[in-house]
Structure formats: structure tokens, C-alpha cells
Amino acid sequence: MSGTAIADVGRALGVVAARDLHRQARHPGVLVAQGVQVLFFLLVYAIGFDGMIGSVDGLPFSAYVYPGIVAIQVVTLGVSSGLTYAFDREYGMLREMLVAPVPRLCLPLGKVVATAVLAGGQAAVMLAFAPLLGLPLSLVGYLGGVLAFAVVCVVFGLAGVLLATLVPQVQTLQSVVQMAMYPLLFLSGSVFRPDAGPGWLSAVMRINPMTYATDAIRHLLIPGHGAFPLWLDLVVLAGLTAVLATVLRWKVGR
Amino acid sequence: MNAAFDVRDIVVRYGRRTAVDGVSLSAAPGTIVALLGPNGAGKSTLLRAVSTAVPPDEGRIEVFGHDVARDPVAARARIGVVFQERTLDPDLSVWRNLWFHARLFGLSRPRARARIDEVLERFGLADRREDTVAQLSGGLARRLEIARALVHRPGLVVLDEPTTGLDPDARRDVWADLRRLRDEHRVSVLYATHYLGEAELADHIAIIHNGVVVRRGSPAELKSGLAASALRLSTEDDASAARQLSSAGFDARVSVEGVSVRCARPESHVAEVVRAVSVAVREVAVVAPSLDDVYFATTEGSST
């Protein structure tokens, strides 16, 4: 790809993402609702369970579970890119974008970029409270964490938009996403260790890609507390990204 | 010079249904072409294929020399599309909708601002720039869609039933805009309609039925080529006149309105017909068929 073509793709991604962010800014209620949801998770899991469970591997439960709670928020946001794609298709806006002189892949990817920006912003706010829950972070750890959550959002955003291209009806897509979200989010090591449950549960968690995302972030934010080797987490996530991007490229055409 | 669009033997299938079945059609820059046909004839599919939204299963489409299959991005840069259904973002302002389009079509920020001001002015939307699309009437929203399709200055504008749901004033405005584009900027216009009156505004009409172009030509050519055209005579003795005309080889019939002589290009047969009758002729009238006659004769004939 030539330099001009790369610049064109970058511009197109920026334009699609800017539109989504602009729309988001016009509906601040959605952001507030997401903030309340995070607060709820914090109260229930981090603070409520803290007194009951005490510590995990020598860490306060709240500190151990905090990266998982942020991951739940970020992955939810990522998968929701698929819904914004489906709504644009439902209400006709996607048609207009499909006849624009940009590679088609830019349209779903632009949406993923927009949610990654939102996810990065939300992670930045949430991680700023990490020290209060017994998880002190260095500046590098903090910035690395924000970036890592944005990357995780991209991976699951790709899954969301791919799902949207595979399921033509918005209502069906919403049902599929709703059905998939709970096992995806909660059987991922986000709120308990992947090896803490019975064998069958562990096996299920090992086929959940979010398990590796949560584990990689835990490696980053709480060194030494990952359940799997970091290289395994990264290989699984990189492989998943490559497969999702390839299938998405094939689905949306040129 | 390259044709504005050149469609060669294209076939588009949706599963087992063939929506467009071997259509060829082309137009020089600065031409208005109408696709006329009933619902489900394949008009919208053909427009989608030309605008690169749907890839044809067979055949080739070029837009200003760019093959839409091999280089869809270059072809799209020359096309402005107005879809049948609304494709505006109702939550965003008029200006923001245009801005998104302009930037997505590759205009730099300063150029996008200038072009947006230009089309807002031209389409009488300048004072509505900050209104959200949801606040616009159907007619104004349609104008905005046409304005948006022109922001990047395409050479070809493709419109699918552009005036559906508009009141007569808004319709008239849309057609005035499209003709002005052709006349002032040599923009080619390809549109689908099932309003016969609107097809008549085109330079060239292709009547589509069951995915096939069944008739094509200028509105005048289509009308004059139809066997429904006739000369109508009022004579002192219509029955005798009809007999005399029939024996002279004309297709003549007596009706309550007089003697009807069906023929193509009736205006060129007036003298022959009058000479062929010996009874006194009071009046001769050329009965030109309307586009309705052409349309119904074509679509009814091809559906059997």
C-alpha cells in the first residue's frame, strides 16, 4: 500500500470514528449510564466481596478483581461497536458510507477506533481510582494499562462488528450479544481465577478469548499474578485479531 | 472521452432470483438517463450495481473509465448517490451531515467548508445549516441528500426514485436542480422512477421489466416507434373511408371518434392517407401516444 493510500485509510478511519464520537457526545446519558454500571460493579465486587473474601494470592480481593472489572466494561464497549454498525445499517447511514471512495474495511474499523477511544478514556478514569482499592500504579503502569485496555477494546470491537455483519437483523443481533455477554464477561477470570473453579469450568474459561485479555492485563497491572504465561495470552489475542480482521475483510468486500 | 457510465451485459442475482439479467446501458457525460419500470423490475439493483454498492455476478461496469470491480474506490469518487430510502443521520445537523460526507469523500477541511457553503447556498438550505435533519420536512431532507451527493463534485449522480413521497412543489424543485446540474456542470444523471411524467424529463429512457431492458430511446423516439400512434380522420362517410384505407393497405378501423389509422410515425403518412380516400375529409389529427401508452404496451407485452 502506498503512502497516500495509507494516509487515505487513516483519514477515513478518523472521519468515521469522529462521527461516532460526535454522536456519543450528543447523548451524554449513555456515558453516565456506563459510569453508574462501573460504580455498581465496584461496590458489589471490589468493596462488597472484599470483606468476605479477604485476599487472593496475598493481594486484597478488590485489587485482584479491579483489572477484571475494568476489562468487563471495556469488552462490553468493544462488542457494542457491532450494535452501532448494525444501527447505521438499519437506518440507512451505512449505505451512504458504502459508496464512499474508501476501502470498505474502514467503516467497521472506524467504529472500532471510536469505541477504543471511549474505552481508553473510561479506563483512564477507572484506573485513576485503582490506588484507593489497594492497587497502586506507577505512571508507566497507568499509561500502559490505559493503552492495553484500548487494545483489548479493539480486539473485542472486531468481534462485535464481525458479528454484526453476520447477523442481518438488529433485534436478532441484540439477542445474540445479550446471550453471549454473560459467559464472555464472567467466565473470563475477570472476577475469579480461571483455575479456581472445577475442571469443567476451567476448561470453558480456557476457550473464552476474554480470559487471555484479562490475564494479560493482570500481568501488566499486578506483575506476577497472571494465571497463564504472558506470551500465551499475547499469542491467543494476536491470533484472534488476525482471524477476525481477515474474516471481516472478506465479509465487507472492497 | 470516457462514457459517464458504461454497463456491459451485467447480471445480478440474489440467491436463485436474477434481479438484472444481461443489461447493457451507457451514457455520455451531461446526459440524463431514466430507468423506468414497475416495482421489482430490477431498476434499484441496476443502480446499486452502477454505484458499486452491489457487485454484479457477470458483466462489467465502468464509471468514467474506472472498472467498478477492479478499482471501486476510484469509481466511487466520481459518483454521487441518492438512495431511495433516507440515509441522513437524523440526530446530526444539516452541516454536520454534509461535513461527514465531504471528509469521507476525501475533501480537505478548508475545501470541505467551502463546498458545503456552496451547496447549502445553491439548494436554499443555508439558513437551516444548524437544524438537525429530524427538523427538516421530507422535501428539504431530499434536497439535502441531493446537495450531499454533489459536495464532492461527482460527474455522475445516481438517484433511486428521488421524488417518492414529495409534494408537487418539492418534486419540481428536484427536477429543476437536476437539469441545472446537467446544463451548467455537464453532470450525468441516472435515475430510476415509476412516474411516467418524470421519465419524460430524461434525454434517454430505458424501460426495464423482469431484469431486462425491453425498450430504450429518447422520449420522442419511444412514442413515435409505438404502434399505438395513429391518424384519426373525420369524414363524410367513415365506413367507406375505412374500407378504402384497408384496401390501400392501411390498418384502419372505425370508432366512435372517426376512422383510426394505426401506424408508426403518423405525421409522415398524412398525405398518403388523405389521397387514399375518395370521400370528403373534414379533419385529420395525429394521435401521439403518451409515455403511459409506451410503458403499458411494453411492460404488458413483455410479461406474457
For residue range B73-87, list pLDDT tens digits in order. 899 999 999 988 889
pLDDT tens, position by position, A4-17? 778 888 989 999 99
One-letter amino acid at A41 equals: F
Residue that the C-alpha cell 466494561 belongs to: A73
Confidence of residue B166 (pLDDT cuts 50, 70, 90): confident
Which among B79, B92, B96 is the nearest to A99, CB-wise?
A: B79
pLDDT tens, position by position, B203-246? 999 999 889 998 898 888 877 665 567 888 999 999 999 999 99
Give how many domains chain A has, as a whole number: 1
Inspect the interface and report whether the beta carbons of B55 and A253 lie closer than 8 Å: yes
A118 part of contact set with chain B, CB < 8 Å: no
Give the per-residue pLDDT at B292: 67
B181 compared with A240, residue with greater pLDDT: A240
Residue B289 DSSP code: P
**pLDDT of B298 above 80:** no
B5 Cβ neighbours under 8 A, 6+ residues apart: B25, B26, B27, B50, B61, B62, B63, B64, B156, B188, B190
Inspect the interface and report whether the beta carbons of A96 and B83 lie closer than 8 Å: yes
pLDDT tens, position by position, B169-203? 778 888 888 888 888 888 999 999 887 778 888 99
Which among B55, B76, B86 is the nearest to A101, CB-wise?
A: B76
Give the per-residue pLDDT at B297: 67
Asked if residue A153 lies in contact with residue A77, where contact means CB atoms within 8 angstroms, the answer is yes
A91 to chain B: closest CA residue: B87
Confidence of residue B303 (pLDDT cuts 50, 70, 90): very low
User: Distance (Å, rounded) from C-alpha A44 to C-alpha B124?
Assistant: 56
ipTM over 0.90: no
Give the per-residue pLDDT at A19: 92
Q: Grid coordinates standing for A231?
A: 506470551
Residues of chain B in Cβ contact (below 8 Å) with chain A: 51-53, 55, 72-74, 76-77, 79, 81, 83, 85-92, 96, 100-101, 103-106, 148
Which among A93, A99, A102 is the nearest to B53, CB-wise?
A: A99
| Model confidence, pTM | 0.79
Residue B280 DSSP code: P
Inspect the interface and report whether the beta carbons of B83 and A95 lie closer than 8 Å: yes
Residue that the C-alpha cell 366512435 belongs to: B256
CB contacts < 8 A (A, B): 66
User: Distance (Å, rounded) from C-alpha B201 to C-alpha A178?
Assistant: 51
Which among A15, A23, A92 is the nearest to B103, CB-wise?
A: A15
CA neighbours within 13 Å on the CB side: how many for A202?
9
Question: How close does chain A come to B31, measured CA to CA in Å?
Answer: 22
Give the per-residue pLDDT at B304: 40
Q: Nearest to residue B43, comparing CAs of B7, B92, B78?
A: B7
**pLDDT of B25 above 70:** yes
Question: How close does chain A come to B55, measured CA to CA in Å?
Answer: 10
The range of the structural domain enclosing residue A176 comes to 3-252
Which among A18, A93, A102 is the nearest to B87, CB-wise?
A: A93
DSSP string covering A141-184: HHHHHHHHHHHHHHHHHHHHHHHHHH---HHHHHHHHHHHHHHH
CATH topology of domain B229-288: Alpha-Beta Plaits (3.30.70)
Inspect the interface and report whether the beta carbons of B85 and A97 lie closer than 8 Å: no
**pLDDT of B10 above 90:** yes
DSSP string covering B2-67: --SEEEEEEEEEETTEEEEEEEEEEE-TT-EEEEE--TTSSHHHHHHHHTTSS--SEEEEEETTEE
**pLDDT of A50 above 80:** no
For residue B149, count other CB atoms closer than 10 A to its CB: 26
Per-domain residue ranges for chain B? Answer: 5-223, 229-288
Average pLDDT of the segment spanning A65-77 = 90
Confidence of residue B103 (pLDDT cuts 50, 70, 90): very high
Confidence of residue B48 (pLDDT cuts 50, 70, 90): very high
Give the per-residue pLDDT at B260: 85
Q: Could you say which of 3.90.25.10, 3.20.20.80, 3.30.460.10, 3.40.50.300 is the CATH number of the domain covering B5-223?
A: 3.40.50.300
User: Distance (Å, rounded) from C-alpha A102 to C-alpha B161?
Assistant: 26
Round the average pLDDT of chain B to a whole number and report it: 87
Percent residues over pLDDT 70 in chain B: 93
Q: Grid coordinates standing for A115?
A: 469505541
Q: Nearest to residue B113, comparing CAs of A11, B121, A23?
A: B121
A104 to chain B: closest CA residue: B73
Of A24-38, B90-104, B132-146, B230-244, minimum mean pLDDT range? A24-38
Bridge partners (DSSP) of residue B189 are B32, B157
Bridge partners (DSSP) of residue B17 are B14
Q: Grid coordinates standing for A222?
A: 499486578
User: Distance (Å, rounded) from C-alpha A240 to C-alpha B111?
Assistant: 40
A26 part of contact set with chain B, CB < 8 Å: yes
**CA max distance for chain A:** 58
Asked if residue B206 lies in contact with residue B218, where contact means CB atoms within 8 angstroms, the answer is no
Residue that the C-alpha cell 485513576 belongs to: A128
Question: How close does chain B come to A82, measured CA to CA in Å?
Answer: 18
Inspect the interface and report whether the beta carbons of A96 and B74 lie closer than 8 Å: no
Asked if residue B6 lies in contact with residue B61, where contact means CB atoms within 8 angstroms, the answer is yes
Confidence of residue B300 (pLDDT cuts 50, 70, 90): low
Q: Is B33 helix (H, G, I), strand (E, B) or coil?
A: strand
**pLDDT of B279 above 70:** yes
A29 part of contact set with chain B, CB < 8 Å: no
Which among B53, B73, B91 is the nearest to A101, CB-wise?
A: B73
Question: How close does chain A come to B159, measured CA to CA in Å?
Answer: 12
One-letter amino acid at A251 equals: K
Give the per-residue pLDDT at B204: 93
Average pLDDT of the segment spanning B295-304 = 60
**pLDDT of B24 above 70:** yes
Inspect the interface and report whether the beta carbons of A101 and B89 lie closer than 8 Å: no
Give the per-residue pLDDT at B293: 67
Chain A hits for B72, CB-CB cut-off 8 Å, are: 254
Query: How far apart, in Å, are the Cα atoms of B111 and each of A211, B105, B114, B117?
Result: 47, 11, 5, 10
Inspect the interface and report whether the beta carbons of B85 and A92 lie closer than 8 Å: yes
Query: How far apart, in Å, are the Cα atoms of A192 and each of A201, A203, A227, B97, B251?
Result: 11, 14, 11, 46, 92
Average pLDDT of the segment spanning B91-116 = 94
Where does chain B have alpha helices with state H? 43-50, 72-77, 94-104, 109-122, 138-150, 168-185, 196-199, 219-224, 238-247, 270-276, 291-302
A92 part of contact set with chain B, CB < 8 Å: yes
Q: Nearest to residue B230, comparing CAs of B283, B266, B273?
A: B266
Chain B hits for A26, CB-CB cut-off 8 Å, are: 91-92
B148 to chain A: closest CA residue: A96
B50 to chain A: closest CA residue: A99
For residue B280, count other CB atoms closer than 10 A to its CB: 10
Of A113-127, A200-214, B251-265, minimum mean pLDDT range? B251-265
